[in-house]
């Protein structure tokens, strides 16, 4: 391999390294290349207990990507829990140290990079600086709000996660802000991977450098400036993230080409993945994506709450029931009936009489529970699941106080503690 071929290979490898991104479990990557939008919750290549490594479309004129996360932890009138029973990842929730704080126990809220700290202790590690800032601002507003209006404020906050009109407006704003950035990234991509190889083949090093380096520097500088301006328009509060984006784009032409990914990625982070899927996906793809997500929300992996205190369990329960009602409403507006997904499937074998309501794995009568779902109790394949229809249309937003003596986990009633 010649020196010129080695140089081009290094350029290619550096560029491909910029086309991968790390996503925390619980998020959903919406990606589009040459065709329609797709939703990805897990990666089949590299993953661990905290997240997965995904790829983005390598050709800048065609690829787009967004990450939808919503609220990665549970909020309730009593406090905040840094985990959520439901998770869009097929293998379950991310690995975290369980922490629960009542609202009157929160004294300080700090954001240090991607780390969210409550009372000077790490509470959550976000995927991006923008996500950490968003969650920090939300907790501050809830902490300083009127305690008597806290529950209604929480309901309004969660309803905003499913605002499809706001999602469409934000996408339109991003499209206008990123149009020039996408065009310039295409020019730099063609210069680096089309003009440069041809020039190095027909000319020596020194004549080639005179023709190649000035346009490379100018396009990289212009891309860096355009990325910073677009980022400022979309995320005015994320100063540190914007400085890092501009600095890396100046240092690396590959990072400058992929700067559009860093600007696009957090745009829809604060919306529910179900709502984003309703806007971006066609009906068939939406049903394929939403069915396992709905079953995981209705029948989450056990234990539903790893903290055994009544206040923490009630917070997780309130949040899950409210999200269930809002998800049902969003799916029905999209023409889907999520309740029909809970009906038992046709047995794949005559010996199968039981199934797991979360993962739909079928079992024989000797099975006691689904090990993959935390030993979740099995349901009969011969009848409909006997599950309370929480969040029906007549009561779209459940009142947690009505569940303090009715809702049980493993047969033990959960009593709602007094508010602080």
pLDDT in tens, 54-100: 888 888 777 789 999 888 889 999 999 988 877 888 777 777 788 99
pLDDT, the chain, mean: 84
- Per-residue pLDDT averaged across 20-34, rounded? 87
CA dist 25 and 118 (Å) reads 22
* pLDDT tens sequence across 393-416: 333 444 444 443 333 333 333 444
Rounded CA separation 293/300 (Å)? 10
- Residue at 288 is within a domain: no
Are residues 349 and 259 located together in one domain of the fold? Answer: no
Q: Which residues contact 53 (CB under 8 A, 6 or more apart)?
A: 20, 21, 22, 43, 45, 46, 47
264 and 169 both lie in a single domain = yes
Do 41 and 179 belong to one domain? yes
Indicate the burial class of 45 (C-beta count within 10 angstroms; 0-12, 13-18, 19 or more): exposed
Q: For residue 94, is it within any domain?
A: no
**102 part of a folded domain:** no
With respect to residue 133, please indicate whether it lies within any of the assigned structural domains.
Answer: no
Give yes or no: residues 216 and 361 share one domain: no
Residues 34 and 178 in one domain: yes
pLDDT above 50 for 331: yes
Q: For residue 84, what pLDDT is reported? A: 81
Residue 158 pLDDT greater than 90, yes or no? yes
- Residue 312 burial (CB count, 10 A): 25
pLDDT in tens, 357-396: 998 999 999 998 999 888 999 999 876 444 333 333 333 4
Q: How far apart are the first and last CA of the chain?
A: 71
Task: Find where tokens 């400022």 sit.
Answer: 232
170 and 27 share a domain?
A: yes
pLDDT recorded at residue 395? 34
Domain assignment present for 78: no
User: What does the pLDDT read at residue 383?
Assistant: 60
- Domain presence at residue 400: no
Q: What tokens does 274 get?
A: 């179900």
Instruction: Please tell me whether residue 375 adopts helix, strand or coil conformation.
Output: coil
Token look-up 């100046």 returns 250
Instruction: Name the H helices within 235-382.
Output: 239-251, 253-257, 259-264, 273-280, 283-298, 310-333
Q: Of 268, 290, 317, which residue sits at a domain end?
A: 268
pLDDT score recorded for residue 49: 78
Asked if 257 and 369 sit in the same domain, the reply is: no
- The tens digit of pLDDT for each residue in 176-205 reads 888 888 899 999 999 988 898 888 878 877
Number of domains in the chain: 2
Query: 401 lies in a domain?
Result: no
- What token pair was written down for 22? 């790390």
* Structural domain ending residue among the three candidates 268, 295, 311: 268
Of the candidates 216, 238, 268, which is a domain's last residue?
Answer: 268
pLDDT at 175 over 70: yes
Residue 205 lies in a domain: yes
Give the range of the structural domain holding residue 371, as residue numbers without chain letter. 344-383
Q: Express as a percent the part of the chain with pLDDT over 90.
A: 46
62 and 187 in one domain?
Answer: yes
Low-confidence winner among 306-315, 342-351, 404-413 (lowest mean pLDDT): 404-413
Looking at the structure, do residues 180 and 59 belong to the same domain, yes or no? yes
- 51 near 42, Cβ under 8 Å? no
- Do 201 and 58 lie in one domain? The reply is yes
Q: Is the pLDDT assigned to residue 125 strictly greater than 60?
A: yes
């Amino acid at each position: 391999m010649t020196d010129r071929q080695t140089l081009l290979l290094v350029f290619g490898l550096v560029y491909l390294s910029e086309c991968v991104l790390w996503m925390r479990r619980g998020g959903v990557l919406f990606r589009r290349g040459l065709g329609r939008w797709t939703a990805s919750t897990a990666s089949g290549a590299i993953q661990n207990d905290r997240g997965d490594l995904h790829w983005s479309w390598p050709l800048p004129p065609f690829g787009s990507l967004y990450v939808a996360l919503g609220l990665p932890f549970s909020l309730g009138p009593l406090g905040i829990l840094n985990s959520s029973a439901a998770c869009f990842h097929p293998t379950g929730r991310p690995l975290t140290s369980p922490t629960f704080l009542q609202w009157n126990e929160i004294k300080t809220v700090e954001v240090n990079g991607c780390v969210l700290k409550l009372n000077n202790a790490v509470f959550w590690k976000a995927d991006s600086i923008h996500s950490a800032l968003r969650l920090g601002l939300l907790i501050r507003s809830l902490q300083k709000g009127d305690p008597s209006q806290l529950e209604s404020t929480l309901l309004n906050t969660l309803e905003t996660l499913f605002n499809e009109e706001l999602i469409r407006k934000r996408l339109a704003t991003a499209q206008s802000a990123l149009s020039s950035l996408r065009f310039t990234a295409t020019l730099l991509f063609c210069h680096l991977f089309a003009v440069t190889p041809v020039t190095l083949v027909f000319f020596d090093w020194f004549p080639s450098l005179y023709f190649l380096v000035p346009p490379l520097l100018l396009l990289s500088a212009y891309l860096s400036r355009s990325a910073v301006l677009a980022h400022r328009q979309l995320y005015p509060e994320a100063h540190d993230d914007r400085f890092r984006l501009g600095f890396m784009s100046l240092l690396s032409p590959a990072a400058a080409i992929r700067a559009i990914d860093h600007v696009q990625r957090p745009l829809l982070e604060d919306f529910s993945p179900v709502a984003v899927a309703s806007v971006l996906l066609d009906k068939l793809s939406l049903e394929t994506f939403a069915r396992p997500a709905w079953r995981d929300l209705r029948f989450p992996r056990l234990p539903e709450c790893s903290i055994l205190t009544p206040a923490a369990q009630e917070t997780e329960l309130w949040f899950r029931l409210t999200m269930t009602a809002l998800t049902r409403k969003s799916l029905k507006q999209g023409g889907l009936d999520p309740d029909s997904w809970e009906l038992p499937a046709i047995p794949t074998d005559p010996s199968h009489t039981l199934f797991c309501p979360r993962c739909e794995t079928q079992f024989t009568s000797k099975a006691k529970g689904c090990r993959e779902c935390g030993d979740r109790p099995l349901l009969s394949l011969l009848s409909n699941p006997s599950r309370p229809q929480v969040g029906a249309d007549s009561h779209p937003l459940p009142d947690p106080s009505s569940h303090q003596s009715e809702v049980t986990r493993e047969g033990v009633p959960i009593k709602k503690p007094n508010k602080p």
